[in-house]
Amino acid sequence: MNKKVSHSVKGWMVCVLSFLAVTRMLFAASSAAALPLAPRFVAISLDGKPVTSSQLLGKAYIVNFFASWCPPCRSEIPDMVELQSKYGRQGFTFIGVAVNETVPSIRSFISSNKITYPVVMADDQLVNSFGRYVEGGVRAIPTSFVVNTSGRISLVITGARSKEVFEKIIVEALRKPVTPKIK
């Protein structure tokens, strides 16, 4: 019985601590003036369509650096596909950036995982433009950059996240900034 209670308490504590960490990150992100502007970029997705920061103005998006051979990356992809389907109609999108991949292998990965959001191949310019927001640059994958509707990076995530955590982050990123009323 004590083991069951111990596991239950530990599980509950992990949930509470995770919630508090995400809440703290989101609360810190609410101060828009302190958040850096997302870098400008131009890329071509593997389906041949341009993906540019100017197309995304006013929209929330997450730029996710990943690789098909990375187990944590592979574990979060199905949740990202599901969340893309759920929030895409609200103007949200993931943008996958394939790191250390070949075009044929990533095309196969996109197809087998039914990825519906744009995926581009990483290049030095794209990696460096986002890497300046992470100490030491983008060195671990997955690494995700959350951009809110104001075009500011509200959060940088290193490591895989659960569907529930991503969903909270997406909902917060989709919120329109509140502009103070002048009396």
Long-range contacts of 40-46 (CB under 8 A, 24+ apart): 40/129, 41/125, 41/126, 41/129, 43/97, 43/120, 43/121, 43/123, 43/126, 44/120, 45/118, 45/119, 45/120, 46/103, 46/106, 46/107, 46/110, 46/119, 46/120, 46/121
Q: Is residue 43 part of a domain?
A: yes
The answer to whether residue 24 is domain-embedded is no
What element of type H or E holds 144?
strand 143-147
- Predicted pLDDT of residue 137: 83
Instruction: Give pLDDT < 50 ranges for the chain.
Output: 1, 5-31
CATH of the domain at 73: 3.40.30.10
> What is the structure's pLDDT at 14?
37
CB 134 within 8 A of CB 106: no
Could you tell me if residue 72 is inside a domain?
Answer: yes
Give domain status of residue 56, yes or no: yes
Residue 19 in domain: no
Residues spanned by the domain of 111: 31-174
pLDDT at 5: 43
The rounded distance, in Å, linking the Cα atoms of 12 and 10 is 5
170 in a structural domain: yes
pLDDT score at 57: 93
Determine the pLDDT at residue 93.
Answer: 96
Q: How many domains does one find in the chain? A: 1
